[in-house]
Structure formats: C-alpha cells, structure tokens
Chain A
C-alpha cells in the first residue's frame, strides 16, 4: 500500500531537477549546465514574490492602474499640476508639523519660550520651523493658483460642481489652519492678531459673540485658549482636510480632467446628426 505524500511546506519539498542540465534533458543532453542564480536574481525574484503576494490579496494592480494611468485630455499642461503641488505642500506641512509638535508646548507661559527654543537651540529647528512657516504661505498661494486654473479653464462645470464645492471647503479649512497656527508662536504679533481675529468673529450678530467665546474658551483670553487653538490646528482641522482631500481626489479620478478651453473638439469626436 502506498501512503500519500505528507503535506510538506513548499520550502521543504525536494525541488524538481532543473531542465536543460545533465543527461536528463532531451535538448540539453550535450549542453553546458545552466548558470547558478546570482544574488541579483534572488533579489528580483524575492521582490516579485512579495509584491505578488500583496497584490493577490489586495487587488492593488487594477486599482492603481485605474488611479495612476488614467487617460488625460489633449492639451494637458503644467497648470494641471497645481493641485498635486498643493497636496505636496500639505504633506510638507503635516510632516514638519509633527516634528515641531515634539518640542512645542501649548501653554500661555511656555509657548513663546518653547518656540524660540526650537529656533535657537534645537538642531535644524530653525530650518523645520521655517519650512512650516513659509510652507503655510506657499500652500495658500498654490490653492489660489489651483482655484484660478479651475475657474479660468471652466473645470468647475457639470459634472464637477461638487468637486468645486469640496475645494472651497478645503480652502476655508486651510485658511482656518493659517488662523489657528498664527497664535502658536505666541509673540506680540500673533497674540494681538488673534485678539483682532477673534473679535472679528464676535462682530457677527447673535452667534458672533458665542463663536468668540468658543474660540477663547470664555470671555477673556484664558489659560485654555492656546491649547484650544493647538488642538484645532493639529488635530481637528487636519483631520477634516485629509478626509476632504480623499473625496476631492476620488472625484478627480472618477470624473477625469478637462481639456483646456482653447482646444476645439476634433471633427471625428463631434456628435453630428445626419439629416436624411
């Protein structure tokens, strides 16, 4: 009686003889033995196996093919990169912000000292803080350029109106990032600018004063005002921005981009009606 082969894992099973070598192969009877696989071959094979393992379980390839290798209209030019540029400005802000948060202390009596400690003492602190500070202006400039491109190319029209609305929400949230971040260095300029900004909020009838109370956590600039601004600046608003960027990019992928307005449709693409 013949027992079935035990279910050995693949790695332990004896590999079949390589074709072509020795005297077993029909064609390679007299040929030289095949070369031993090199380290590079192992690396390539290993990577391909790992990627294949992931791909088989996530279905990443069809998704990425649709997401990254989309068809774009004729006439697509550098202006179409402004959205991606804004996205990268946001990522830069997020990364530098995370590292600034490691040294910053959101407390009315410590904020200024910790911010100047970042600039003056921490290795590369001045550079990272500078990137975050100037990057914020870059991001807002890029948003407005991106918005202008969308407007002047007519890319907000049907069926892309919803993406325009999401984009406007993202603009407002980014401006709120600028407002809440401006307080955090806690020098004279940022303190008084925030006082003025909160009082501008208070000038709205009925809800205005309550909005100002919400921002200050009370009627006066108090001990929890700065931590409130800090929490909004690094948790609440960025979370909303990330979610809306996701929706924004999903819609761009789904709807595609528009051709620049100066391009006329080609004859063969025009829908014409033949009159009999």
Chain B
C-alpha cells in the first residue's frame, strides 16, 4: 500500500482502521466470552460429591425379585428429582460376573431406559423390564432383549453399612455387563468402537 512518504508500509488511515477494529473486537470479546463461559460452564463442572442414600434394611430384599425404591437423585427440584430404582440381592447363580470385577452385594437397577430415558417398569410375571415409550424390553439383569435400547439398563453402586443397604453413584454397562465408571446418557452405545464416540464427560 502506498504511504505518505517513501518506504511507508502502513498508512495512517489503515493504522486507525485497524486500531478501531481491534478496540471493537476487544469490547465485543469482553462481553461475549464471559457470557459464553457462563452458559457453557455447567458442561465442565464435576458432579456433586458422591452421596450414599439409604434404601432400607437388608431384610427388605431377596435375590429372586426386585423391590422398587424411590430415591432423590437431585434434591433441589422436588418430585422431578426423584426416581424409582429396582433393588435385589446379588444372585450368585443367575448373575453374570465379569472377569476382574468384584460383584456388588446388591443389584440396584436404574429405571432410566437406555433408549431415550423414559421410566421402565419391572413385570414380575415375565421377569422383564419394559419401557412404555418405544417398546424397549430388558431381561432379569437389565440386558436388552428387544426394542430400540442400545445398552443394558444403568445401575447404581451399592454397599451394606451396619445391616442397611445404601446406593451410591450411577454407572453404565455395555452388553457384556462390563462397568463404565462415567455414566453415559441414554441412547449412547457402549460396545466396541462406539464407546469412543460417546466419551465420558466431566459432568459424570
């Protein structure tokens, strides 16, 4: 660009334009970046510290059938934060044990359907979980037996403290019932290469 004198590479006009554009950019960024971070912040926040919830004495449960229990997953939102879970004792004959994993003393199945998150219901007569929304069917261990779900029903960690059963964090399983410590959203496949397309997030 021709300058005011020989050898000038940037004219004063061009310098002023650039300066004004830079100032405007800084001003926009000063507003936009905090606003964006404000909206996207929850994506990178870790979940609340682990909570263990009491679901009743050991006598309430057996290893043949599920007992429904209501727990409060998100305490601040009233009824919307409550969810039903199905709990039974670990059954050494029926339950699959994955190599290298210690079986949990109790099996606590989440009612969140692995298709799109509708609440499933346990039918005692057929020993199956069925989903009312799109017809997902799960077997006794929560493994997929029919319909659109992509992986077995999620579970919760369990432990026994002085004769009472407590449930902790949610975890997801793939079709071999291998545990994934970061729970995934419904609709996320966890078998084979799929697990890398649906990574565990900071929030889970």
Q: Which A residues are within 8 Å of any B CB, using their own CB?
A: 108-109, 186, 191-192, 195-196, 198-200, 202-203, 205-206, 208-210, 212-214, 216-225
A200 to chain B, nearest CB (A): 6
Question: Within 8 Å CB of B199, what residues of A?
Answer: 206, 209
Question: Within 8 Å CB of B115, what residues of A?
Answer: 199
Are B184 and A209 interface neighbours, CB within 8 A?
yes
Are A205 and B201 interface neighbours, CB within 8 A?
no
Q: Report the Cα distance A203→B117, complex, angstroms.
A: 11
Are B133 and A196 interface neighbours, CB within 8 A?
yes
Q: Report the Cα distance A82→B16, complex, angstroms.
A: 48
Indicate which residue in B116, B118, B188 contacts A209 across the interface (CB closer than 8 Å). Answer: B188
Are B197 and A217 interface neighbours, CB within 8 A?
no
Are B47 and A219 interface neighbours, CB within 8 A?
yes
Are A203 and B187 interface neighbours, CB within 8 A?
yes
Q: Report the Cα distance A115→B50, complex, angstroms.
A: 34
Are A219 and B198 interface neighbours, CB within 8 A?
no
Query: At the interface, yes or no: B203 with Cβ under 8 Å from chain A?
Result: yes
Q: List 19 A-B contacts (CB under 8 A).
A: A108-B78, A108-B81, A109-B78, A192-B118, A195-B116, A199-B186, A199-B187, A206-B197, A208-B187, A209-B198, A209-B201, A210-B201, A213-B42, A213-B201, A213-B203, A218-B47, A219-B204, A220-B81, A224-B42
Closest 4 CB pairs of A and B: A203-B187, A202-B185, A108-B77, A205-B197
Q: Report the Cα distance A210→B201, complex, angstroms.
A: 7
List residues of B (43-60) whose CB comes within 8 Å of A's CBs. 43, 45, 47
Question: Within 8 Å CB of A108, what residues of B?
Answer: 76-78, 80-81
Indicate which residue in A109, A196, A208, A224 contacts B118 across the interface (CB closer than 8 Å). Answer: A196
Q: Report the Cα distance A210→B204, complex, angstroms.
A: 11
Query: At the interface, yes or no: B183 with Cβ under 8 Å from chain A?
Result: yes
Query: At the interface, yes or no: B74 with Cβ under 8 Å from chain A?
Result: yes
Are B42 and A218 interface neighbours, CB within 8 A?
yes
Query: At the interface, yes or no: B40 with Cβ under 8 Å from chain A?
Result: yes
Indicate which residue in B40, B77, B198 contacts A208 across the interface (CB closer than 8 Å). Answer: B198
Q: Add 5 more A-B contacts to A109-B78, A195-B116 (CB < 8 A).
A: A203-B187, A219-B183, A222-B81, A223-B76, A224-B42
Q: Report the Cα distance A224→B42, complex, angstroms.
A: 10
Are B78 and A202 interface neighbours, CB within 8 A?
no
A224: nearest residue on chain B (CB-CB)? Answer: B42
Are A219 and B201 interface neighbours, CB within 8 A?
yes
Q: Report the Cα distance A214→B119, complex, angstroms.
A: 22
Question: Within 8 Å CB of A191, what residues of B?
Answer: 80
A2 to chain B, nearest CB (A): 54
Are A223 and B77 interface neighbours, CB within 8 A?
yes
Known: A202-B185, A202-B186, A203-B188. A222 touches B43 (CB 8 A): no
Q: Report the Cα distance A199→B151, complex, angstroms.
A: 14
Query: At the interface, yes or no: B30 with Cβ under 8 Å from chain A?
Result: no
B157 to chain A, nearest CB (A): 16
Query: At the interface, yes or no: B39 with Cβ under 8 Å from chain A?
Result: yes
